[in-house]
Structure formats: C-alpha cells, structure tokens
Amino acid sequence: MLSNALIVVITVVLMELFSIVAHKYVMHGFGWGWHKSHHEPRTGWFEKNDLYAIVFAGIAIALIYAGTRGHHPLEWIGAGMTAYGLLYFVAHDGLVHGRWPFRYVPRRGYLKRLYQAHRLHHAVASKEGAVSFGFLYAPPAAKLKRQLQQRRDAATDRPDASARCEDAT
C-alpha cells in the first residue's frame, strides 16, 4: 500500500514537471491553437483549452483500466495523474481563473504566490514572452516581474524589420 501511495505522489510531482514543459513548448508552441482560448476572455463555461484536460483525463483512464487488468502499477500512475488533474482544477481553474461559483483572492502564503505567478503569466497576451509555466509551482512574483521587464526591454531594443532590411543592403 505504501509503495502505491508513493507512486501516486511521485506521479503528481512528475506531472507538474511534465506540465511545465508541455505548457511552455506545446501549449505556447504548436498547440497554441487550443491554448490561445485560455489567454482570451471566456464567453461560456468551457474554452478550447479544456481539450487538453480531456486528453490527459483519457490517458489517465486508460492507465487505470490497464492497471486494473493486470498491468501494475499503471493504475497508480493513472491515479496520480487524476490527483494532479484535481489539484489543477482547484488551484488553476478555480482559484486563479475563477471558474468556481464564488471568488477567492488569497492574501498571503503559497496560494497568493501561485495566484500572482499565474496572473503574471497572463500579463502577455501572445504565445511569446510569457513567464511562469507551472500550474502548481510558482516562482516568486518579484523574480517573474524582473523576467517580464527584461523580455519587454529586449523586445523594444530589437531593431524593427525595416531597419534589418536596410542593414542587409
């Protein structure tokens, strides 16, 4: 029983690491078509970005099914993915994006840091230049603000396309 619980906990931690990479390179990369809806005002209960949750839930269900059919420990990996999905729903969709029927803005501690980090992630409307790609891990807000400012400064220091064309001739 203890080893199964350990598999669940390890899976939750690995899901956060996987999610950081997937959020940065897939959702803000070639998967922007689905994720873009998450960076725009929502008009109903659902957004196209929710398709990611459906895909990952499907994988978790398949792992749980395979594990209960004799392919141990896949059921516990699927359970860890499900636990991560629940944490994501509560912290990200509920707390940060207010998809609950009530609003709560944390004033201190970890939840405030998580809230601020994700708000700073959304300070950039496009798929480039964003900071803080974790869903449960939150770097300090001051660090993220510095990163955002450095990216904005770098973007304004770049010569525009016409200047680059003139330099090439």
Indicate the number of domains in the chain: 1
The per-residue pLDDT for range 79-91, each reduced to its tens digit, is: 999 999 999 999 9
Q: Does this model's pTM top 0.85?
A: yes
Label each residue of the chain as H, E or C: CHHHHHHHHHHHHHHHHHHHHHHHHHHHHHCHHHHHHHHCCCCCCCCCCHHHHHHHHHHHHHHHHHHHCCCCCHHHHHHHHHHHHHHHHHHHHHHHCCCCCCCCCCCCHHHHHHHHHHHHHCCCCCCCCCCCCCCCCCCCHHHHHHHHHHHHHHHHHCCCHHHHHHHHC
The per-residue pLDDT for range 94-151, each reduced to its tens digit, is: 999 998 887 899 999 999 999 999 999 999 989 999 999 999 999 999 999 999 999 8
pLDDT at 159: 63
The per-residue pLDDT for range 40-86, each reduced to its tens digit, is: 998 888 999 999 999 999 999 999 999 999 999 999 999 999 999 99
Domain that holds residue 73: 2-168
